[in-house]
Amino acid sequence: MVNRSNDNTLNNNHKAPALWGWPTYLSIAIAIFILAGAATMVDLKQIWREIAACDKRFVMLGALAHYATYIVRGMRWRRCLIHLPISAGNSKFGLLVFFYNFVDNLVPAKLGDVYAAHLARINFKIRRSAAIGSIVFLRMLDAWIILVLASLASWILFSASLPWAVIWSLIGGGMIAVGASTIMLMFSLFKKKLPGWIPEKFQRMIMAFRTGMWPRPKEILPIVILTAIIWALETAWIFSLTLAFGLHIGSAEAVFLTMIPLLASAFPFTPSGAGVVEITLFSCLRVVGISTPIAGSLTVVNRFIDYWLHIGLGVLTWAIRRIIGLRTWRDVRLKDLPAEDSTDISAGREICQGN
């Protein structure tokens, strides 16, 4: 006879993270409320006229630069996990990065990172803890780069008096950078043998987390180079968009308009900071002297391509996932995969001892 209580426990341990629920619905409602309020503050007809008159060639060029970052992000993520037994190539990693960022556009509090670890488990058969460790490392790296670049650009442009909106964005970015660094520091304290009072299950999770958190030393330089390419492309995306509306801005303005809204995207109460990012980008454009109609138009085009188009392409990716070889929680049950600790825990011990 099957023990139903044990069977239920097994099923609960292998559940996929819930995508839809009251937190997601509430976050979407908050985003809609913010966007509706922002829409009342601008002339929508004038914005439409500006959009219709913009140079679509620069819009397309910027969009290509932005979406090219997902390919580079995939290459970078693979570099972080290359010490694990993974046979997938750069294209598969790029696909997963694109897809979990699509999920992140639907759920609040950066829960897309949880789905990223879940997708890595399904597609690469590595521990979710290891995948989360690599994501924390990349988040920390990006957070410090964005914070430094945003601070430098803000100081160059507003050395006399920083606007309060910019100050709060920088504070938020600093909290993210310090938070991610603190997590890595805490787990680095377990460099040697873990205390015996920690349950074996959690010891395996900690070991796997550290395995993913620290790339091979020889991969650090390629990861830094790929990171520089990512942020150069993102800055080129904003610069191309300003050219589309006939604006001629300097490098400091381009960096400022790229980095400050990215800090706002970490706002936890709406999906990818939806609503807050729009207001932040619009405010940044106004602060650097761009007129209200063009600032509003540029914000609409930016968010349509960056956010709404990504959602549409993500839905398409979901629809054709079997054709392109993307496996999701709908296609694979975790309990049907090999035991997590049988795939990379030995590599984790080697990495931890080597460090």
- Quick check: 277 and 261 in contact, CB under 8 A? yes
pLDDT at 304: 94
pLDDT at 100: 94
Distance CA 206, CA 110 (A): 21
User: Who has greater pLDDT, 39 or 249?
Assistant: 249
pLDDT grade for 310, boundaries at 50, 70 and 90: very high
pLDDT at 354 exceeding the cut of 70 = no
Phi-psi region of 161 (alpha: psi -120 to 50; beta: other; left: phi over 0): beta
Backbone angles phi, psi at 106, to 5 degrees: -110, -20
pLDDT at 167: 85
Among 306, 183, 166, 176, smallest CA distance to 234 is for: 306
Distance CA 153, CA 130 (A): 35
pLDDT at 5: 39
Distance CA 100, CA 328 (A): 10
pLDDT at 4 exceeding the cut of 70 = no
Give the chain's mean pLDDT. Answer: 84
pLDDT by residue (tens digit) across 42-63?
788 899 999 999 999 999 999 9
**pTM reported for the whole predicted model:** 0.85
pLDDT by residue (tens digit) across 128-179?
899 999 999 999 999 999 999 999 999 999 876 878 878 888 888 889 889 8
